[in-house]
Amino acid sequence: MNLLEVIKKRRSIRRFKPDPVPEIALKQILEAARLAPSGVNIQPWRFMVVKNPQLRARLAEEAAFRQQSVAEAPVVIVCCADLRSYLQAVVRAQELLAVEAVSGEFVEVYLKHRGPVSADLVTHMPAATINTVIAIEHMVLMATSLGLGTCWVQFIRPERVAEICELDEEIIVVALLPVGYPAQDPSPRPRLALQEILLPEPGTGKKEESNISMGVGVGSC
């Protein structure tokens, strides 16, 4: 499958067969996450692969509002970000500058905005989350290309996930990702049409023409 085919084929899968996920497939999925881009190449993402059925049941019951996908999928990837990564941000920015991957101006602006190294790590949560989300979607698409199903599960109690998984306090939980062979074949869910997601460029005279509705249409893609 080419990339567009994978993107079109992906669905949120909430019912799974009990068949195990082959180790080779799991490795490929995690490799796709590892290769994701991140701001200043900080790579804050961390993943816990949960296969233990009791642990998955606890995650579903106690931390994911009894979402069946979490209990049923043979693998649940607990997707996290390590805020401690941001302690190395200055070093990382300087390394990037040294290899001229980014301009000195960018590094200067970046360092100014990120504050001192000792700043409360919590201030890095939005950046850590954004970077981790990219890695998660890499995994979702890789899993799809391997014939596996996934479902983003963000309707969770992150603090309960952290307790159940015995995570250090600097590790924040971003989402759960159940992975397994689909036991359902859902139709495409509705998407906005292209004209509904495009904002007119100022000065092109298109603002007056555009009639952007908030209705949900099935995108043609």
Ligand X SMILES: Cc1cc2nc3c(=O)[nH]c(=O)nc-3n(C[C@H](O)[C@H](O)[C@H](O)COP(=O)(O)O)c2cc1C
Kindly provide the b/e burial profile for residues 92-127, where b requires at least 16 CB atoms within 10 angstroms of the residue's own CB: bbeebbeeeeeeeeebeebbeebeeeeeebeebbeb
Cβ 48 to ligand X shortest distance, Å: 18
Q: Which is nearer to ligand X, 14 or 114 (CB)?
A: 14
**Is 68 a residue that touches ligand X (CB under 6 A)?**
no
Tell me the window of 11-19, 26-34, 55-63, 122-130 that interacts with ligand X (CB under 6 A): 11-19
Q: How many residues bind ligand X (CB under 6 A)?
A: 10
Pairing of strands 75-82, 45-50: antiparallel
The only residue of 153, 167, 172, 179 in contact with ligand X, by rule CB under 6 A: 153
The only residue of 12, 28, 88, 129 in contact with ligand X, by rule CB under 6 A: 12
Cβ 63 to ligand X shortest distance, Å: 11
Q: Which is nearer to ligand X, 14 or 138 (CB)?
A: 14
Written as six digits, the tokens of 66 are 């009894």
The only residue of 11, 15, 157, 160 in contact with ligand X, by rule CB under 6 A: 11
Tell me the window of 9-17, 28-36, 111-119, 204-212 that interacts with ligand X (CB under 6 A): 9-17
Secondary element (H or E) of residue 215: none
The only residue of 152, 160, 192, 212 in contact with ligand X, by rule CB under 6 A: 152
Distance (Å, whole) CA 140 – CA 147:
11
DSSP 137-173: HHHHHHHHHTT-EE--B--S-HHHHHHHTT--TTEEE
Distance (Å, whole) CA 175 – CA 188:
22
Nearest to 152 by CA among 134, 127, 170: 134
The only residue of 28, 88, 129, 154 in contact with ligand X, by rule CB under 6 A: 154
Tell me the window of 6-14, 108-116, 177-185, 195-203 that interacts with ligand X (CB under 6 A): 6-14
Which residues sit at the interface with ligand X, rule CB under 6 A? Answer: 11-12, 14, 67, 151-155, 189
